[in-house]
Amino acid sequence: MVVIDVKGDIISNDDKWVYDWFEWDSTCPNDVKNALINAKPGEEIEVHVNSGGGSVMAGQEMYSLLRGNPNVTIVIQSIAGSAAGVVAMAGKNKISPVAMVMIHNVSMHGASGDYHDMQKNADILKQMNASMAAAYTEKSGKSQEEILRLMDKETWLTANQCLEYGFVDEIIKEEKSESYFTNNYSGMRLTDELRERAVQEKAKQELLKDLDFYGV
């Protein structure tokens, strides 16, 4: 059986090396893609979700990679928040009795411009909310309006509530689960400042290797 761990921040493929540099837990679409490629035909695949979310587009890509695969079972072990919640809706799934799912509106960081730009950004965010909601409507059969209302007020759902809403197929019985937050649902760990620091440190190490190679 293949196990895919969706843990820490959900990030883009481009940011993966930075998280690895800081030794932070993270999951990018390529992590999922490569695991699926390496799985043997017909081999069972379990996706263990322990993430507060992260990049919307990375989460959507991971959802699309997993969706419709009959060999995939998704297990929510602690928290499936925001983008990670979307990933958890990609197929047949089950949840630990102590785990939770959190859904909320998409947010944007670092926006700038005049009021026209802000209005455009608001419209984009509404469209992205609808896109995220589609994963929950397909899984549960609930209307988009109902899902958007849950997102609008930021909703935390227990395992029993997830089963009641149709977001999961079953609750795991008699199984221990690590109940911890692998990242902060309110924001990702990687800031522009930390990304720049990693880039500078990587460049410094590569320069030192070159100097050593040439005997300088």
- Compute the Cα dihedral for 64, 66, 68, 74 and give only its sign: negative
**Choice among 10-19, 138-147, 150-159, 190-199 with the minimum mean pLDDT:** 190-199
How many domains, in total, are found in the chain? 1
pLDDT band at 191 (very low <50, low <70, confident <90, very high): confident
Distances (CA, A) of 213 to 25, 203, 207, 208, 209: 33, 15, 10, 8, 6
State the amino acid at position 26 in one-letter form.
S
pLDDT at 180: 37
Q: Is 191 exposed, middle or buried (0-12, 13-18, 19+ CB in 10 A)?
A: exposed
- Could you tell me which residues come within 8 angstroms of residue 174 by beta carbon, excluding any fewer than 6 positions away? none
- For residues 95 and 75, what is the distance between their CA atoms, to the nearest angstrom? 6
Catalytic residue among 26, 78, 104, 177: 104
Condensed to tens digits (0 to 9), the pLDDT of residues 90-128 reads 999 999 999 999 999 999 887 788 989 899 999 999 999
Catalytic residue among 51, 78, 82, 177: 82
pLDDT at 197: 79
Condensed to tens digits (0 to 9), the pLDDT of residues 120-146 reads 999 999 999 999 999 999 999 999 999
pLDDT at 177: 44
- For residues 70 and 48, what is the distance between their CA atoms, to the nearest angstrom? 16
pLDDT at 178: 44
Condensed to tens digits (0 to 9), the pLDDT of residues 151-177 reads 999 999 999 999 999 999 999 986 544
Residue 186 sits in a domain whose CATH number is 3.90.226.10
Other C-beta atoms within 10 Å of 49: how many?
A: 28
Domain hosting 151: range is: 2-213
pLDDT at 3: 97
Condensed to tens digits (0 to 9), the pLDDT of residues 36-78 reads 999 999 999 999 999 999 999 999 999 999 999 999 999 999 9
Q: Catalytic residue at 104?
A: yes
Q: Catalytic residue at 96?
A: no
